[in-house]
Amino acid sequence: MEDMLIIAGQKIRNRLLIGTGKFPDKKIITDVLTHSNADIVTVALRRVDLNSNEENILNYIPDQCTLMPNTSGARNAEESIRIARLARASGCGNWIKIEVISDSKYLLPDNIETLKATEVLAKEDFIVLPYMSPDLTIARMLVEAGAAAVMPLGAPIGSNRGLKTKELVKIMIEVIDVPVIVDAGIGKPSEAMECMELGCDAVLVNTAIATAQDPVGMSKAFSDAVKAGRLAYLSGLGRLSENGKSSSPLTGFLYE
């Protein structure tokens, strides 16, 4: 049976989700999404210009991709709710990645306001994917409020620091029933692979791809790393051990 990620009933083949900010040219976005076979792509609604063909970022996204607009720029629940409604009204579909950031220095999400927005938008039949600081209690509340997945950060947005929140994300994977997607902070394919080996359902990457010398090449590298990490997870990784394990065990005689 093919291994698929399912979010709100939709089957997703590629567990690498891609963000569209920071690219040196919007045309590169099309190449990246095509070559990495991306299924889910997130776009900041603040950057969407429906009035212009050339400037409208949506025109650079291949048809096979599911669009997940995000509420980047929102500083509280109210602003993110307004942006989400605007996104749906503009024909951007039902998916929404809630991003509420009231800290312009570290760009860390506001979990409380994110929860408020999730409560409102889930009731309005949005497919809500909240970006969050990895906190188990809030994650449970988000699921209770109707989140279709939770998206804990690995490290601050754009920091390329990797999965610094590993222990917290690991607990979320164990406990939370909806997909856990690591979003933000992943700087290298090996780090994306680490997330997947841990049991994350998917990874969202933007900066590391968009600012690479060769964004298309980097997107392929990430896509392969995510696949490899997933396969390793499904195949069952060995337990970690401080010492070498003898293949001629000391108690083997008991069974001879």
* Enzyme catalytic residues: 97
Shortest Å distance, C-beta 36 to other proteins:
18
DSSP class per residue in 38-99: -SEEEEEGGG--TT-TTT-GGGGS-TTSEEEEE-TTB-SHHHHHHHHHHHHHTT--SEEEE-
Residue with Cβ nearer other proteins (35 or 75) = 75
φ, ψ for residue 161 (rounded to 5)?
Answer: -95, -10
- Whether 200 contacts 173, CB under 8 Å: yes
Closest CA to 147 of 201, 78, 193, 95: 95
> Among 10, 37, 59, 160, which residue sits at the site for other proteins (rule: CB under 8 A)?
160
Which amino acid makes up residue 198?
L
**Which residue's CB is nearer to other proteins, number 122 or number 210?**
210
For residue 164, how far is the Cα from the chain centroid?
15
Among 26, 35, 188, 227, binds other proteins (CB under 8 A): 26
Taking CB under 8 A as the criterion, the residue among 8, 35, 59, 158 binding other proteins is 158
CB 136 within 8 A of CB 171: yes
Pair of tokens at residue 136: 């188990």
Binding flag, residue 204, other proteins (CB under 8 A): no
214 binds other proteins (CB under 8 A): no
- Of 77, 83, 122, 198, which one interacts with other proteins (CB under 8 A)? 83
Q: Judged by CB under 8 A, which of 210, 221, 225, 226 binds other proteins?
A: 210
Interface pick for other proteins out of 10, 37, 59, 211 (rule CB under 8 A): 211
User: Do residues 164 and 193 make contact, with C-beta atoms less than 8 angstroms apart?
Assistant: no
Interstrand relation of 5-7 and 10-12 (parallel, antiparallel or unpaired): antiparallel
The site for other proteins, by CB under 8 A, has a size of 29
Whichever of 104 and 137 has its CB closer to other proteins, that residue is 104
Q: Smaller CB distance to other proteins: residue 5 or 218? A: 218
Residues that bind other proteins (CB under 8 A): 21-26, 45-49, 52, 54-55, 73, 75, 83, 86, 102-105, 107, 158-160, 207, 210-211
